[in-house]
Structure 1
Amino acid sequence: MEQPSHDLKTLFDQLGLPSEGEAIDDFISAHPLPPEIMLVEADFWAPHQKSLLTEWLRADGEEALLVDELNVRLHDGK
């Protein structure tokens, strides 16, 4: 079975965010999203980060799955 070539670390690296150790979990804990806020509309993203997230979602490939995973985790707060 082929392993995905991307993971949340890859996404965070592309977003210019810390991705080592517990940095991803720390970011998610610090930025919970209420259900009515869409991931790409969150006020903590810089314009280039919103653009990347939107681009990856539109790609509808494994990159979109990572953005979906981040979306679920931010909305769950964990």
Structure 2
Amino acid sequence: MDIGTHDLAALFSQLGLANDESSIHCFIQSHELKGDETLPDAPFWTAAQAEMLKQAFIDDAEWAEAADTLASLLAVKH
């Protein structure tokens, strides 16, 4: 059973991305979801990252909440 932390920083780590506050902020500022694009379908993920995110939503896995948060943060900024 996985009882680890599944926050945004942990999600970035799981995706193989730098997970310090500054790196997360830079990622969010330089990437966005357009229109009806879903998080796993965004063009900036590797195939493995996209699959991990897709499974998080399909399985309603521990990562789903952090992935939802990330999707909200990447929504088109006005």
| Superposition TM-score, scaled by structure 2 size | 0.83
1:21 aligns with 2:26: no
1:56 aligns with 2:56: yes
Aligned partner of 2:42 in structure 1 is: 42
1-structure distance, mates of 2:33, 2:63 = 21
The amino acid that maps onto 1:65 is E
1:20 Cα deviation from its structure 2 partner: 1.2
Structure that is richer in helix per residue: 1
Identity among equivalent positions (%) equals: 35
The amino acid that maps onto 1:33 is L
Count of residue pairs the alignment pairs up: 74
Gaps of 5+ in 1: none
Structure 1 segments, 4+ long, off by >3 Å, are none
The amino acid that maps onto 1:42 is A
Gaps of 5+ in 2: none
1:76 Cα deviation from its structure 2 partner: 4.6
